[in-house]
A = this chain, B = another copy of it.
């Protein structure tokens, strides 16, 4: 993430030194923890590139508006990650323990809520009514996708098709990762967002998430920042897993579902290692990669068309290049 953006986000948060009590010093430090860990800043970068492509010059009039929206997007991701880590009971985030592992669920949940409000302070700083509505839509869609994802885990639902996964991932990842940043960039530049941004962004977001699912199985732990195999421990329904279940031998399928029925603490580490090997050795990985490549291609084609008339073609080209690297990334 651009240091400038991180500083803007942090500037909205209270500083531990200013806390009137030791407990609040801890609270303020909790609010700053995830934002200080950084992150790649893909979404904020996409927003800023979109603003440039739509004619907003870096550092020119209106640029600060785009920066505040970008900072708000980073704060959005931070509070969502705090709550997601609780829901998934994840151990790590960005190479360090998850916030609820450091402070317990009740305090981390509350810190996520507070950070959610500070996100709106960043949106307010941008001072753009259309940006406000854009954030509302983004949160509504992301929460719907989260509900699908989590309800399947909660209800032990495995009777799912790839189409179910795709609907979930478009809602949960597509809006906040691609559609909303593209649209916010246009709005920051005072332009109406191209109607194809939504379809393009949902396809590219899907490709992005499938890549993430694959990296969760096969990635380099040092680069990836989350625990490898974590999705499996959390019982996540991914395209790889849904495809594998449709094609696995009955005995393996049975062993897999038996482990998935257990809470994380009751899962057998040795069997989970087997499952990981089976998934890694299956053609479901290649299937998912091919599926992602197709989604990426469809999204790129739509996006290329939507940006054909953009004011700044150099920035438009950077957007397309960023989108291409996202589906091929190693971390």
- How many copies the complex holds: the figure is 2
Residue of B nearest to A133 (CB): B124
B124 touches A132 (CB 8 A): yes
Contact, CB under 8 Å: B107 / A147: yes
Q: Judge whether A124 and B136 touch: CB under 8 Å.
A: yes
The answer to whether the Cβ of A121 comes within 8 Å of any Cβ in the partner chain is yes
Given contacts A120-B136, A124-B136, A151-B23, contact A87 B109 (CB under 8 A): yes
Within 8 Å by CB of A24, from B23, B105, B147, lies: B147
Task: Report if A146 contacts B (CB, 8 A).
Answer: yes
Give the docked Cα–Cα distance between A148 and B167 (Å).
Answer: 40
**A139, B124: Cβ atoms closer than 8 Å:** no
Interface flags for A67-103 (1: CB within 8 Å of B; 0: not) read 0000000000000100100110000000000000001
Q: Interface majority SS on A: helix, strand, loop or mixed?
A: helix
Task: Identify the stretch in A34-42, A50-58, A110-118, A206-214 within 8 Å (CB) of chain B at 4 or more residues.
Answer: A110-118
Contact bitstring A132-176, B, C-beta under 8 A = 1, else 0: 110110011001101110111110000000000001000000000
Choose among B26, B83, B143, B148 the residue that contacts A23 (Cβ–Cβ < 8 A): B148
Q: Which residues of B contact A249 (CB under 8 A)?
A: none
Contact across chains for A136 and B148 when beta carbons are under 8 A apart = no
Q: Which residues of B contact A148 (CB under 8 A)?
A: 21, 23-24
CB distance from A68 to the nearest CB of B (A): 14
Number of A interface residues at 8 Å Cβ cutoff, please give it. 43
- What is the CA–CA distance of A109 and B143 in the complex, to the nearest angstrom? 10
Q: Are the CB atoms of B106 and A153 closer together than 8 Å?
A: yes
A154 to B23, CA, bound (A): 12
Taking a contact as CB atoms closer than 8 A, the residue among B110, B118, B133 that contacts A87 in the complex is B110
User: In the complex, are the beta carbons of A150 and B107 less than 8 A apart?
Assistant: yes
Asked if A27 lies at the interface with its beta carbon under 8 angstroms from chain B, I say yes
In whole Å, how far is A114's beta carbon from the nearest beta carbon of chain B? 4
A110 contacts B23, CB within 8 Å? no
Decide if B83 touches A113 in the complex (CB within 8 Å): yes
Whether A221 sits at the interface, judged by CB under 8 Å, is no
Bound CA–CA A120/B144 (angstroms): 17
Cα distance A86–B153 in the bound complex, in angstroms: 19
Which residues of B sit under 8 angstroms from A105, Cβ to Cβ? 87
Q: When the two chains form their complex, are residues B21 and A143 in contact, meaning their CB atoms are under 8 A apart?
A: no
Q: Is A305 an interface residue (CB 8 A)?
A: no
> How far apart are A80's CB and chain B's nearest CB, in angstroms?
8
Evaluate whether A143 and B124 lie within 8 angstroms (CB atoms) in the complex, with A107-B151, A154-B104 already known.
no
Pair A113/B143 contact, Cβ less than 8 Å: yes
A143 / chain B contacts, CB cutoff of 8 Å: 27, 110-111, 113-114, 117
- A117 to B27 CA separation, bound complex (whole angstroms): 22
What are 25 A-to-B residue pairs whose CB atoms are below 8 Å?
A: A21-B167, A23-B152, A24-B147, A26-B151, A27-B143, A80-B113, A83-B110, A87-B109, A103-B154, A106-B150, A106-B153, A107-B150, A109-B109, A110-B143, A110-B146, A111-B147, A114-B140, A114-B143, A116-B116, A117-B136, A117-B140, A117-B143, A118-B140, A120-B136, A124-B136
